[in-house]
Amino acid sequence: MSLEELHLNLRNLMSDDYDQLKALMDAVYHDIGGSWPKHTIDKLIQEFPDGQIAIEDDGLLVGVALTVQVDYDEFSNPHKYDDLIGHREIILNDEDGDAMYGLDVLIHPDYRGYRLGRRLYEARKELCRSMNLRAILAGGRIPEYHQHADELTPAQYIDKVSRKEIYDPILSFQQANDFQVKRLLRKYLPEDEQSRGYATLLEWNNILFEPAASVLDNKPTQVRVGAVQWQMREFSSVEAALQQIEYFVDALSDYQSDFAVFPELFNAPLMGLQDRAAQQDQMGAIRFLAGFTERFKSELSRMAVSYNINIVGGSMIEVGDDDRLYNIAYLFHRDGTVERQAKLHITPQERRDWVIEGGDELQVFDTDAGRVGILICYDVEFPELGRLLADQDMDILFVPFWTDTKNGYLRVRHCSQARAIENECYVVLCGSVGNLPSIENLDIQYAQSAVFSPSDFAFPHDAVLAETTPNTEMIFFSDLDLTRLTVVRAEGSVTNLKDRRKDLFDLRWRDWSWKSGANLED
């Protein structure tokens, strides 16, 4: 039969299909009793119609998948096939079950080789996701085991099939469709002589499952990020700077953004409020700038609440309890909470001209729109930090930056893209533009802000979700689908986080609580 002759249609099984179904089951299951009686199939269709899936070719039934709902806790533990069967061969469907159980998958002998089984399995998975069920379970026969039973235990046989040293038509197929062997079932189907009564308990885990008890508390899976490619400009007063900031927060809020993002040290032009002679003292100028931080924190927190938007406040200079200077990114939640992330790695220029110190804490922040991390500019060039954040289930990494030249910008950009790929997360890169020759160390800026994604089929071909015009003040937006991150981490073309060789290497955060007095987690 040629592919051109096929006219396949995927649909739900109907009672009128029984005669064809019986013939198909009798042919496939001739060694273990053949077909179910009609009243069994009718009852199954009546109780769980969506779970009975068929493929027809011009009206000929060529593939079938029969499924029931079950209680996960009961059937993820040892059980027998008979536990699914009630009086008069009625298959026990639990309409309140939180999992699906795959009973049978049958393909007409003349239609094998067309991957129809895979179509049926994908339809089952889609149904499982749409019903928000925990998993698909199945008791899988191992029909080739009888050929190896004299020299291999069932566990050894399963291991060799997993390693592809032995081919088993059922187990090999199940594993190729992302089912994992959870345990060995004994006396599962005693009449199955080919499997010697053994079976594997297989499970496909629905990574999108949300427990019913928490449905009302679920965080959104669609997150809108808005960011400002900010122009460094001279301000006549602090009020003028705050007015410009509020203008952008208002605009981003009007577009219903969940986050408003600003660049690193975006209030640095306020150093220009000093007279020119005072600006020559760079240490004095940066401490002068730090004097505005508390007011900015208060005003940005007010804006976050008033405009109902989380604000990543770029970064600002803070005088610590030790009277040293730190470069701090503040996260202003729209519920009024304020959190902070210090820049950990200080550039030679910051250390030399401003004597800024590096912080010693790193964390992921829980927000109402996902778990986020912040790495300020130079920090993103150290891959260990992104990985430590990814290990805490970070969804979005914000990178406020400030670079003066294109080569400096490209270091930040390329490292940010690498963090998105290796940590399977979104990265939001936000920088400043413009020239301020009258202010020391603010002469020139270069930026092209962007949003990066993992590099896989669910994302843009170049893994760039949004990008600004270089060196132009503007706002930009990107809608981030957090569900896609969940899927790519579990089922992507590559799964970087899952495939790490932790048997060879690991990464830990060193506890500096003895130094800072903070309670840090390893």
Residues with catalytic function: 264, 343, 377
**159 burial via Cβ count (<10 Å: 0-12, 13-18, 19+):** middle
Question: At 452, which amino acid appears?
Answer: F
In the numeric block, which tokens belong to residue 404? 């003066």
Q: Are 402 and 290 in contact (CB under 8 A)?
A: no
> Would you say the C-alpha torsion 395, 399, 400, 406 has a positive or negative sign?
negative
Question: Buried b / exposed e across 463-497, counting CB within 10 Å, b at 16+?
Answer: bbbbebeebebebbebebbbebbeebbbebeeebb
Q: What angle do the packed helices 238-254 and 293-306 form, to 10 degrees?
A: 30
φ, ψ of residue 498 in degrees (nearest 5): -70, -30
State the CB neighbour count (10 A cutoff) for residue 404.
Answer: 17
Residue (of 267, 273, 272) closest to 244 by Cα position: 267
Helix/strand/coil for 463: coil
CA angle 303, 307, 308 (to 5 degrees): 110
State the CB neighbour count (10 A cutoff) for residue 361.
Answer: 15
- Whole-Å CA distances, 106 to 25, 60, 103, 115, 448: 7, 14, 10, 12, 55
φ, ψ of residue 13 in degrees (nearest 5): -70, 145
Q: What angle do the packed helices 38-47 and 18-28 form, to 10 degrees?
A: 110
State the CB neighbour count (10 A cutoff) for residue 166.
Answer: 20
Residue (of 336, 472, 461, 480) closest to 398 by Cα position: 480
Containing 312, the helix (H) or strand (E) segment is strand 310-312
Q: 241-247 — which CB contacts under 8 Å span 24+ positions?
A: 241/267, 241/269, 241/270, 242/296, 242/299, 245/299, 245/300, 245/303, 246/299, 246/303
Q: Are 112 and 76 in contact (CB under 8 A)?
A: no
